[in-house]
Structure 1
Amino acid sequence: MSDCCTTETIEILPEPKVPGKLRTVALIGPPNSGKSTLFNRLTGLRQKVANYPGVTVEQHVGKLSGIGRSDLYLIDLPGIYSLDSYSEDARVSVEVLTGRMPGTPQPDAILLVLDSLHLSRQLMLAAPILALKLPTMVLLNMSDLMEARGGEVDTLALAREIGVPVAKISAARGTGIDAITHFLNRKSEPAIPSPGAGGRLELPVVDNPRSYRQWATGISTRTKYKAPLSSEWTRKLDRVLLHRILGPILFLVVVIAVFQVVFSIGQPLSDGFGDILNNAGDAIGAHLGHGWLESLLIDGVWKGVASVLVFLPQILLLFLFIGVLEDSGYLARAALIADRMMRSIGLNGKAFIPLLSAYACAVPAIMATRTIENKRDRFATILVTPFMTCSARLPIYLLMIAAFIPNKPLLGDFFGMRAAVMLSLYLLGFLAALGTARLLKSSILKTSTAPFILELPQYRLPTLRSLGLRVFDRGKVFLKQAGTIILTVTLILWVLSHLPMHSDLPDSIIGRVGHLIEPIIRPLGFNWKIGIGLLSSVVAREVIVGTLGTLYGAEGAALQTALHHDLTLGGALALVVFFAFAMQCTSTLAIVKRETNSWKWPALQFAYMSALAYLAALATNQIVSHLVR
């Protein structure tokens, strides 16, 4: 999706250093420590996003207007466990904190966010941060949960031990934020404690993780830190959900249930939304009369875009369920379960998070691979990520399944044939990713596996606000695609399908192009209109539905009927199999080039995935056609 890569140029111009004056503040902490929630609260959601020069790590900068300090910039650094890591995130953090990042001044102060639920481990990051000798404040986030579950820590003792201010906060609830304001409002140099105040701070040996661990453990003991108990429900659920046998089975049941609900509830919603769009198009057309303007706006624009928009309810429903699974803490467990499978192909559980996020869009998923420290593991994950079924593939899947697959039950009312086909396509992409990863890791990207470290969050009930924002965001991205790329492509296709003037569609420019490539795709069971759809979908996968809507002059049920007339069952299944494997997205190719800093890898990726898609579609058409004779 092209909008995923959009960035804005940001530069904080350096000013002469004035003793005691703060201008930039760095926010840093381990992953899942609540750092992003705090950043949003402190900046009042008014922030900008860009990329650091020369790297692919995102830079989040915002003014501290959330606490009345619009004169200060807050720089949100990547979530990391250590500054000694070889990951790109850690290198960026070191360069920003030491003032070596071009275009970004060295911060005047640091806010270090630690998860108080796991303080003994997270204190390991404090040692290298304090060694930088910048004014620092340690924020113990989620302290309300820690105390509610019987945990405790002496913040005054901790502040004396490490020589910097310490405060308990809750970024989600907004409690304890006043301590940050008090810290930042201290203008004079002596008023801001520096590491080692009072002579009590003894930092461990630099670049020695074992030394960091011993230091953190010693401080935890001396400050009387008592780790909170996991909730009883968390312990009971993990005994079942993380079971070696029951865990994967239950995960499969959850996935099957999600797809069944998407069809059983989402299909009627999409049908009703399609009727609304169709009636709106008829009403608009009635006021335009008959002529080229009516044909352009209704047949070209409206039906092309509406043929994609009709799937919005099902797509949003799918992301609602994904949001529930993620916010509840279950998907982190799924990553742990997947680590066992990942190791069998040479990857580890860190690759699961990018692969999982690729179900939304491959672009941010590929950017998420920067947390993988081993370069060969990272490249292997980048190359297989586009196999995961992103939301852009859903429109063509839903269209073809609704047109060719009967809505018959397989396991009673719980699981139907359409849901089974959809699940099979998702599984097909996942297996292709695993198989390709295995091939890469046993040949050109061979390397040893690295340990997988993951903090399991507590189970919690998702909030309506969080789910609503997630669904709204996905809907906005989908509508933006329909309003830009799909609209542009459908307009171009309408023009090309009407030139030369007064010619029939097969004799138009677009018809001639389609007939030119038809011999190549005919063995797959495709006609020339499908060929034009394949060419247009290179821009973005979902464009093919708008293209077919424009070429057939139909949408919704009418488009399904037209396709059912022109395609056999073998050709229809071959089309969705082709899309399960093909690299039909220029934005993904562009981000692969940027992440690997070479055109060699995206070229190899495009050639491999296209060849695999063609051969798989050919085999599907031949096998199905033989079986249904």
Structure 2
Amino acid sequence: MSQVYYALVGAPNCGKTVLFNALTGAHAKVANYPGVTVDRREGRLIGNPDVTIIDLPGTYSLRVTSPDEAVTRKVLFSEMGTQPDAIIAVADATNLRMTLRLVLELKTLGLPMVVSLNLSDIARKRGVQIETARLAELLGVPVVETVAISQSGTEAIRKAVAMLPKEPSPPLDAKRAAEVIDSLDSRELYEDVTRLLRDSTHTHMTLPAWHTKLDAFVLHPVWGVLLLLLILLLVFQAVYTWSAPLMDSIEGAFTWLGEWVAANMPPGILSDLIVNGIIAGIGSVLVFLPQITILFAFILLLEDSGYLPRAAFLMDNLLAKSGLSGRAFIPLLSSFACAVPAVMSARTIQDPRERLVTISVAPLLTCSARLPVYALIIAAVIPQQTVWGLNLQGLVLFILYLAGIFSAGLVAFVMKKIAKRHGRIQQFPLLMELPTYRLPNFKNILLNLWDKVRSFLKRAGTIIFALSVVLWALVSFPGAPENAEGPAIDYSFAGMIGRVLQPIFEPIGFTWQMTIAMIPGVAAREVVVAALGTVYAVSADSDEATSNALIPIVHNDWGLPTAFAFLAWYVYAPMCLATIAVIRRETRSPQHTALIVGYLLVLAYAVSFIVYRLTLALTS
């Protein structure tokens, strides 16, 4: 039997991805569509490995308004590789007026289809009674009610999907399909939706009193903003306080491993590579895994509860002052995890200028890859004490995040002024659907959290491993000549490179060891910590090398001005190569990419210079 493909299509926030996990068991393959940087998630249908389900980006219509939605249209029109052989349309049962329009558009493609009315349990609680048999008769396709977060709630859709054809569909005429979709009259579509609802649903929909009261508080222009800031502050406090025991355990494990290898292997180049290259490098990064996991978990929790769209709506007026809108909030929030999905998420923004500005400022927001750098420096120079009942180290981390947020707003404001001067301002009003509050699906959160943690571990096991080995070679060869007076690293390739670069960074207080570590950091920011671990492990005494004591070294050797300047550099420093590559693909402009990298470099150097000189003056 040949492989067949079912496209999973639906509007944002309708539970489409949760349903995907239920149908596939979350055994998903995640990649990018050919030629674009939008995630493609594929999984084999449970019980039938010959059926592949493709989870497409959320869209309200096939008459698209953003590049992200355009991907869904192109896949359905077989313009991006494999043509779907059937469609699983997901409609929000609590908002059928909005989502049935997409179902009617999908029908025009002529592909076999089944409709899933998701969130049907919530719809019933709110007075929406849907006659699914009547709706199926009117639509001419199977219609089932689903509750994607429940195994029993997905049984009906499993049976309906099992009845879809198991053979490839005839080739679709993409040009003809596009002409049909583009010729549809929006007014007539909504009239059809109204008739469908009139003949198949009975609605006395009311929101619970607590829902209305909570929205009045969450969306309040003052209290809502304060709540958002409080949530962010609590997240950063948790990142430090909750992760400390696990970080100590991981650090102790790598210290023990390094000591065990050193004690059980004969001295030599292989032992040196394993202890000072691999263990020191990878261990320096993996120790921060608990902090990164906690940060990801909070973002996923806020997203799954229905809070994030409200935060976007709340921030619309504030972002408008900088030339952005609430549409930019969720892409920018994604930057706190990683700038790569943030840049990709900007595809949902209609205005090309706002999309470019969002991409330009996204790297200023603190991604999780910076967290190991921040955690190292903060632990080395900020005392472990309480201020106003808050952990001082967590408070400093919160201030660093605020510095990135403020800087992003300031840069966006400057870009708005430049665009206004050239007459390129085009404001689109923010129109968005606020989903109902719901209890987070912890199984779905854990699956997504594991995907992100696995991605980080993959980086540690591939990129960081490779760069740690390369850097170890650079700091180890060539060896010191006989009767050398200085440490061996002074005569290595890394030492030579560091001394060439040191005059450039000397005005901001950076040592040559720091400049060496920054080079592999271009590939991935968290590699800076691994590189520092490798450099200092090789150049330090044997006791220090085995313990990988980076925090005492930074505390004793750098000094407060240098440490603060290094923090300032990584608030603004250009992003990793992966992000630069994604920016190049999304903007399709080497000039825009070069300008973004250039302004970040200038900003990082200027702010680091000011911080270094100011701290030097205050501490002297």
The normalised TM-score by structure 2 is 0.88
Over 3 Å counting, the alpha-carbon distance change for 1:55 and 1:547 in structure 2 is: closer
Q: How does 1:244-283 map to 2 (within 5 A)?
A: 244-283=221-260
Pick the aligned partner of 2:410 from 435, 447, 458: 435
Cross-structure match for 2:436: 458
| Aligned counterpart, 1:406 | 383
Distance 1:188 1:326 in 2: 35
Deviation at 1:102, TM superposition (A): 4.5
2:372 corresponds to: 395
Q: Mind listing any 5+ residue stretches in structure 2 that lack a counterpart?
A: 168-179, 482-487, 538-543
- 2:67 alignment partner in structure 1: 88
Q: Is the 8 A contact 1:30 1:81 kept in 2?
A: yes
Q: Which deviates the most, 585-594 or 130-139?
A: 130-139
1:469 aligns with 2:450: no
* Partner residue in 2 for 1:564: 555
How many Å separate the matches in 2 of 1:334 and 1:549?
39
Are the equivalent residues in 1 in contact too, given 2:75–2:81 (CA < 8 A)? no
The residue type equivalent to 1:161 in the other structure is L
Other structure's SS at 1:359 match: coil
Q: Which amino acid aligns with 1:92?
A: V
Gaps of 5+ in 1: 1-11, 15-22, 190-202
Rounded to whole Å, the distance in 2 between the matches of 1:123 and 1:480 is 41
Give yes or no for the alignment of 1:615 onto 2:594. no
The answer (yes or no) to whether the contact 1:84–1:207 under 8 Å persists in 2 is: no
| Counterpart for residue 5 of structure 1 | none
Contact 2:373 2:526 in 1 (8 A): yes
1:85-115 Cα distance to aligned partner (Å, 9 max, x none)? 232233333333344x15223x443322101
My pick for the range that moved more, 553-562 or 77-86, is 553-562
Farther-moved stretch of structure 1 (269-278 vs 555-564): 555-564
Q: Which residue is 1:113 aligned to? A: 90
Q: Say if 2:422 is the partner of 1:423.
A: no
Per-residue deviation, residues 39-97 of structure 1 (Å, max 9, x unmatched): 2333343444443344333444444x32x444444333321011112322333333333
Aligned pair in 2 of structure 1 residues 138, 183: CA closer, same or farther (>3 Å)? same
Give the Cα–Cα distance (whole angstroms) in 1 for the partners of residues 242 and 182 of structure 2: 59
CA contact (8 A) 1:537 1:584 kept: no
Share of identical aligned residues, percent?
Answer: 39
- Structure 2 CA distance for partners of 1:355 and 1:187, relative to 1, 3 Å: closer
> Which whole-Å deviations, capped at 9, do the CAs of 1:498-537 have from their partners, x for residues lacking one?
2222352122221111111111111111110111112221
Q: Distance in 2 between matches of 1:425 and 1:102?
A: 42
1:320 to 282, 297, 304: 297
Give the whole-Å Cα distance in 2 for the aligned partners of 1:278 and 1:183. Answer: 52
| Number of the residue aligned with 1:308 | 285
Q: SS of the residue aligned with 2:275?
A: helix
Q: Distance in 2 between matches of 1:179 and 1:462?
A: 22
Matches within 5 A, 1:145-160: 145-160=122-137
Alignment of 1:627 onto 2:618:
yes
1:507 and 1:374, CA in 2 relative to 1: closer, same or farther beyond 3 A?
same
Q: Does 1:496 align with 2:474?
A: yes
DSSP-derived class of the 2:549 partner? helix
2:578 corresponds to? 587
Residue in structure 1 matched with residue 308 of structure 2 by the alignment: 331
> Which residue pairs with 1:139 in the alignment?
116
Q: Which amino acid aligns with 2:464?
A: I
CA distance in 2, matches of 1:134, 1:221: 26
| Equivalent residue, structure 1, for 2:26 | 45
Cα deviation for residue 440 of structure 1 reads 2.5
Residues 118, 227 of structure 1: 8 Å contact kept: no
Corresponding position: 1:27 with 2:5: no
Q: Structure 2 CA distance, aligned partners of 1:610 and 1:299?
A: 31
Displacement after TM superposition at 1:24 (Å): 4.0
Displacement, 1:577? 0.9
Aligned length: 591
Do the aligned residues in 2 keep the contact of 1:117 with 1:143 (CA within 8 Å)?
yes
1:78 to 57, 67, 74: 57
CA distance in 1, matches of 2:301, 2:164: 42
CA RMSD between the two structures? 2.7
* CA distance in structure 2 between the partners assigned to 1:103 and 1:324 by the alignment: 34
After superposition, residues 109-258 of structure 1 pair within 5 angstroms as 109-174=86-151, 175=153, 177-178=155-156, 181-182=159-160, 185=163, 206-226=183-203, 228-258=205-235
CA deviations 1:231-276 (Å, max 9, x no partner) are 3332222221211110111111121122222223323432333123
User: TM-score, structure 1 length as denominator?
Assistant: 0.87
1:404 Cα deviation from its structure 2 partner: 0.6
Q: Which amino acid aligns with 1:247?
A: G
Structure 2 Cα separation of the partners of residues 549 and 204 of structure 1: 58
Show CA shifts across 1:296-316 (max 9, x none): 211222112212222222222
What letter matches 2:350 in structure 1? Answer: E
1:135-182 CA-partner distances (Å, limit 9, x unpaired): 433221121222234321222332333333322122222435445644
Work out the CA distance in 1 between the residues paired with 2:255 and 2:564.
27
Distance 1:302 1:144 in 2: 51
Q: What one-letter code is carried by the residue in structure 1 that aligns with 2:418?
A: S
CA contact (8 A) 1:367 1:595 kept: yes
Question: Aligned partners of 2:248 and 2:197: how far apart in 1?
Answer: 59
Distance 1:76 1:462, change over 3 A: closer
**Do 1:269 and 1:314's aligned partners in 2 also have CA atoms closer than 8 Å?**
no
Q: CA deviation at 1:548?
A: 0.9
Residue 478 of structure 1: which of 435, 453, 456 is its match? 456
Report SS of the residue matched to 1:110. Answer: strand
